[in-house]
Amino acid sequence: MNFNKIKEAEATHYMPVFTRDNIAIERGEGNCLYDVHGNKYVDFVAGIATNILGYNHPEYTRVVCDQVHKLMHVSNHYYTAVQSEYITKLCEASGFSRVFLCNSGAEANECAIKLARRYFKNNGGEKRILSAEGAFHGRTLATLTATGNANQHRVYSPLPDGFGTFKYNDFDDFKTKLTDDVGAVILETVQGECGVRPFSNDFLVNAYALCKSKGVLFILDEVQTGMGRTGKLFSFSHFGIKPDIITLAKAIAGGIPMGACLASEEVGTAFALGDHGSTFGGNALACAAADAVLTILTEGGLLERSAEVGQYLGERLAHFSKYNFITDIRGIGLMRGIQLSPKIPAAAFEGKLRERGYLVNVAGNNTIRLVPPLTITREEIDGLIAALDEICAATNV
């Protein structure tokens, strides 16, 4: 199918929800993607923080191909060794003792919300769940309700009850909103979709301590920040806190759809038989892929290496503050955001970088988001920095 036919079919048949860049991707190798015309791009999007091993990673690809030949899917009515081995490793690596496996970030958060509600019912009755303004937790009705997007709330109302919000990074507001009818809070340590917006160390530590003192469940959405993205396996480790529930997806299986909701023993056993389930969740193929990802991260040295490279990216980005139209440079590890003044559309920068062979994406608040594979090299970072510098130098405000 040629490029025009590809675009035509999408325009004719796909539901009109995506704004697509004007390229069609054919294949990937290492940290690079190739379009149907054979153009090469160094990928700082990674399927949005998902393809952490890049493309055609030898060990990962071997494990996945072997598993395809052996067994891809059976019902969760049966045990499989590959699922049991994976959940054992995941629990050991995370310090949680209970897990539910699903297929996406939204589903992982939906599971966390249902688990919290089930826990409230077991412990005295219904309670509300608070989320942060600007948060993104997914696109199911419940996770959308916990997502800070007024337009989506408007077009999809009526929304489920039992949710409320607090102001981003505002501990006084958090304290006020944490009334006795609140049973859980859900947040991201770094708000990804909102433009790589981190909560302060103080906010997280204080909010966590207040939740603990009031018996309020602390749910951390690590769908984007988890699996080494911030330089640690999970971002909560940066803050010395231990959430009751965390959710994972995106990078967890290196590009094969998977999500996970992890919980402490007390909270994770709130579900009773039949309370929740999934047809595909945790199938053999996804578990084999996720096991390979976790092993490569923790035993293959990728986690340490990516932490170093993430710091290097932060150092290289720091000097862009000399451009007066760059209003903020934020982030941690290999999750970085460059916010531009409203006069300069970030989408224009995205296009200019693509012309120079670099893929980046625009998140909220006119911010260029960089979430490359964790295998990205210093040379590839240097290349992006040089291209960005060229574009900045040619930009007049």
Beta strands 182-187 and 128-132, pairing class: parallel
Rounded distance between C-alpha atoms, residue 179 and residue 281, angstroms: 35
Cβ closer to ligand PLP: 222 or 350? 222
Q: How far is the CB of 102 from ligand PLP (least distance, A)?
A: 10
Handedness of CA 169, 175, 181, 183 (dihedral sign): positive
Stretch that binds ligand PLP, among 3-11, 15-23, 118-126, 221-229 (CB under 6 A): 221-229
For position 138 contacting ligand PLP by CB under 6 A, the verdict is yes
* DSSP state for residue 202 in the 8-state scheme: H
137 touching ligand PLP, by CB under 6 A: yes
H runs (alpha helix) in the chain:
3-13, 46-49, 58-70, 81-94, 105-122, 141-145, 150-156, 171-177, 201-214, 265-268, 284-298, 302-318, 346-355, 378-393
H/E stretch holding 358 reads strand 358-359
Instruction: Give the Cα separation of 140 and 136 in Å (integer).
Output: 11
Among 16-24, 71-79, 185-193, 377-385, the segment contacting ligand PLP (CB under 6 A):
185-193
Residues 6+ apart with CB under 8 A from 307: 228, 231, 232, 333
Q: Is 260 in the site for ligand PLP (CB under 6 A)?
A: no
Shortest Å distance, C-beta 397 to ligand PLP? 31
**Pick 224 or 230: Cβ nearer ligand PLP:** 224
User: Nearer Cβ to ligand PLP, position 224 or 375?
Assistant: 224
Of 119, 120, 136, 171, the residue at the interface with ligand PLP (CB under 6 A) is 136
Per CB under 6 A, which of residues 187..216 are in contact with ligand PLP? 188, 192-193
d(CA 287, CA 5) in angstroms, rounded, equals 36
Binding range to ligand PLP, per CB under 6 A, among 131-139, 261-269, 292-300, 350-358: 131-139
Point out which span in 98-106, 262-270, 340-348, 359-367 binds ligand PLP (CB under 6 A).
98-106
Does position 51 interact with ligand PLP (CB under 6 A)? The reply is: no
- Number of chain residues interacting with ligand PLP (CB under 6 A): 15
| 312 half-sphere exposure, CB direction, 13 A CA radius | 16
Interior/surface letters 68-106, b for 16+ CB within 10 angstroms, e for the rest: eeeeeeeeeeeebebbeebbebbeeebebebbbbbbbbb
Residue closest to ligand PLP (Cβ): 105
Check binding of 106 to ligand PLP (CB under 6 A).
Answer: yes
- Please tell me whether residue 149 binds ligand PLP under the rule CB under 6 A: no
Q: Kindly list the distances between the CA atom of residue 241 and the CA atoms of 204, 231, 294, in Å, as whole numbers in the listed order.
A: 8, 16, 22
Out of 94, 104, 145, 306, the only residue in the binding site for ligand PLP (CB under 6 A) is 104
User: Which of these ranges, 23-31, 91-99, 220-228, 266-274, lies near ligand PLP under the rule CB under 6 A?
Assistant: 220-228
* Minimum CB distance to ligand PLP smaller for 166 or for 323: 166
Q: How many whole angstroms separate alpha carbon 132 and alpha carbon 138?
A: 13
Find the part of the chain contacting ligand PLP (CB under 6 A) among 26-34, 105-113, 341-349, 373-381.
Answer: 105-113
Please identify, using beta-carbon distances, which residue of 48 and 71 lies nearer to ligand PLP: 48
Sequence-ordered list of residues with C-beta below 8 angstroms from that of 359, at least 6 positions apart, any chain: 33, 41, 42, 43, 44, 45, 353
Report the residue number, 138 or 162, with the smaller CB distance to ligand PLP: 138
CA–CA dist 293, 298 (Å, integer): 9
Site for ligand PLP in 235-254 (CB under 6 A): 249-250
2 phi/psi in degrees, rounded to 5: -80, 170
221 near ligand PLP (CB under 6 A): yes
Contacts to ligand PLP by CB under 6 A: 104-106, 109, 136-138, 188, 192-193, 221, 223-224, 249-250
